[in-house]
Structure 1
Amino acid sequence: MTPVPPNAKVWLVTGCASGLGREVVLAALAHGDCVIATARNPERLADLEKKGARTLALDVTASQEELNAVAAQALSMCGTIDVLVNNAAYLLEGAIEECR
């Protein structure tokens, strides 16, 4: 476990490969907080890692067992999670009549 600076919050942010998730990570890091950034493809988080974020692979459509394993990994990195930003999305495209 990497020590978390005193008075820093620990953030777990999903969907950080681009857009809002990436911006939330950058803002939290700029504030001096500890951030665990996740994305389906962690290679897309390399620049965030260079800026101080910890990174994990996370596909929010995975099984509950896999999600639990990632949560355990995140907890082992920093010991706690103070802020959760559930930013990842899953999109189904098609006509509403085709949705089931």
Structure 2
Amino acid sequence: MAMRCRRFGTNVGIAYQMVDDILEYMDVLDDKNSKKVSVSLPHIFDDQDMDRDDIISSSVNEVKKYVDAARSELGSFDCTETVRKLYSITDYITIDMLPSHVLD
């Protein structure tokens, strides 16, 4: 059980960071004034000469993979109120943070 919880947390954490990187790449995070550009998935895709829409779409697809992996770990537990809240939190801090137009 501990290993499933660890994998859940790792996948949610990676998805959350990727969402943060996407939002920063899209200049959505006005209050985040990073002086240094960190290596992130959108910037890696940008180095491959992809256009902006493809960069965002490809990055969002990677987020979805990690969210699905996290949700899969939860699927192995009994569906308690706690597990339902974890599903909800998973979406809230990842997919729900993204602008709807990038989720198509």
| TM-score using structure 1 length | 0.28
Select the structure that is richer in strand: 1
Select the structure that is richer in helix: 2
> Bigger relative contact order, structure 1 or 2, given CA contacts below 8 A and separation 6+?
2
| TM-score using structure 2 length | 0.28
